[in-house]
Amino acid sequence: MNIDRNQIAEHNKRLEHTQQRRFAQLAEDMPNIDGVVQKLVSFQVAIPSWALGTGGTRFGRFSGGGEPGNLEEKIADIGLLHALNQSSGAISLHIPWDIPKDYAAIRTLAEQHGLAFDAMNSNTFQDQQGQTHSYKFGSMQHVDRAVRKQAIDHNIEVIKHGIELGSKSLTVWLADGSSFPGQLNFRRAFQNTLESLQEVYAALPADWKIFVEYKAFEPNFYSTTVGDWGQSLLYASKLGDKAYTLVDLGHHLPNANIEQIVALLLMEGKLGGFHFNDSKYGDDDLTTGSIKPYQLFLIFSELIEGMDNRGMEHAKDLGWMIDASHNLKDPLEDLLQSVEAILIAYAQALLIDRNALNEAQATNDVARAQEVLQQAFRTDVRPLVAEARLRAGAALNPVQLYRELDVRGRLVKERGEKTVATGL
Ligand code: RM4
Ligand code: MN
Ligand code: MN
């Protein structure tokens, strides 16, 4: 199914009056409101190809209906999201879950939906059918060179797929680690991993980046070979200028100060990619902004401050992606909610009075610093975000229109009740 311009225009007409009133009210106190709206229009968040179906936990999976059964249908789903919000203009592929059979056809299809190809993701955390060596005891860290070589070759293969599609980056997330003390020689595991990454790095085209994603634990429960931002930064620094750290919000130990992490990574010029989600306990992969919206805002505050400090372009100079899983909600509704939460946090962070904050910091005025931050956080910026959508030709209320059009019902009719999307 497709959502056409008329359906969006008709929906917007019904909501426009209220929108205008709310926006005008906000504009009264904001001299630079159009600049902020323009930034929101430009900001695009990539959708991973594995987040369009119902995810499972190790206790089960409760599939929803109308899930995309192949890459073409996944692109169509993201096309629907993008038509509704004009902020989801990219897709991130996971190989081998989504190997394109006909590159040209896939490129054309993506273009028709206004989608670019974001970072490519490799997978050496599962064994695939017919695979020669097992990743049970790791991939790039493995004690056996043949296993490492297989993981290296796979990553190079992923780069090749990406080149054909016009992607410009590779994200490497390794499940490598150990579950018991003594299982692994940490130094050797690190060195093997570094050497493997170096071979992949050597195969990167000149205009590509490689993102080294870290994760504190799971599937290994004693050590992870790229376990935190320090380790990721070590790899990225040793690899070279095209290598960066990727921060996934769910990959930290509880209560980690992620805003401080991103500030320092940006300072070092080594923050490259970002995975949005939310969590209460671990890598819960819940809807962004559903649990800790204030933390998300504080992270955005540091992202903006750090990017501005380096003269970086917010929309283009980091790889922004949602990395979530949906066990209960309709994945498309969930993704619309995540994108909305990201734009809200971004908008709020853009409203921070930086001069006042700098002054408060310089004079140790702790109370004032808090006032400045919370003034921005407590502003209801939803009319701002909606205005950006209106100007971009998207729906004023994407979730509402999604329901009004009964998108899920129509997808079920088209694809059936029992389709299952590849992914986690
Ligand atoms: C991992 C990590 C990666 C993602 C996989 C599916 O926990 O977040 O980014 O590719 O899950
Ligand atoms: Mn991730
Ligand atoms: Mn994860």
- Pocket test of ligand 1: the residue of 215, 217, 224, 252 to mutate, having most ligand atoms within 8 Å of its CB, is 215
Atom of ligand 1 lying closest to residue 50 CA: 6
List, for residues 250-289, the tens digit of each pLDDT value: 999 999 999 999 999 999 999 999 999 999 999 999 999 9
Tell me: pLDDT of 8 over 90. yes
Average pLDDT over residues 13-24: 98
For the CA atoms of 305, 307, 313, 318, what is the dihedral angle to 10 degrees? -120
For residue 178, what are the CA distances in angstroms to 69, 128, 156, 183, 249? 34, 21, 25, 6, 22
Q: How confident is the model at residue 409 (pLDDT cuts 50, 70, 90)?
A: very high
CB-CB contact of 278 with 290 (8 Å): yes
| Whole-number Å distance between alpha carbons of 45 and 342 | 9
Atom of ligand 1 lying closest to residue 248 CA: 8
Q: How confident is the model at residue 419 (pLDDT cuts 50, 70, 90)?
A: confident
- Pocket test of ligand 1: the residue of 118, 173, 174, 218 to mutate, having most ligand atoms within 8 Å of its CB, is 173
Q: How confident is the model at residue 143 (pLDDT cuts 50, 70, 90)?
A: very high
**pLDDT reported for residue 126:** 96
Average pLDDT over residues 23-40: 96
| Whole-number Å distance between alpha carbons of 404 and 26 | 28
What is the C-alpha end-to-end distance of the chain, expressed in Å?
25
Atom of ligand 1 lying closest to residue 215 CA: 7
List, for residues 319-334, the tens digit of each pLDDT value: 999 999 999 999 999 9
List, for residues 151-172, the tens digit of each pLDDT value: 999 999 999 999 999 999 999 9
Half-sphere exposure of 341 (CA within 13 A, CB side): 24
Tell me: pLDDT of 295 over 90. yes
Q: Supply the residue whose CA is at minimum distance from atom 5 of ligand 1.
A: 173
- Which ligand lies nearest to the CA atom of residue 175 in the structure? 1
Average pLDDT over residues 173-183: 98
Tell me: pLDDT of 422 over 80. no
Ligand 1, pocket residues at CB < 6 Å: 50, 94, 121, 173, 213, 215, 248, 275, 283, 323, 424
| Whole-number Å distance between alpha carbons of 84 and 110 | 16
| Whole-number Å distance between alpha carbons of 419 and 407 | 16
Tell me: pLDDT of 359 over 90. yes
Average pLDDT over residues 196-200: 99
CB-CB contact of 289 with 303 (8 Å): no
CA of 129 to the centre of ligand 2 (A): 24
List, for residues 112-127, the tens digit of each pLDDT value: 999 999 999 999 999 9
Q: Rounded mean pLDDT of the chain?
A: 97
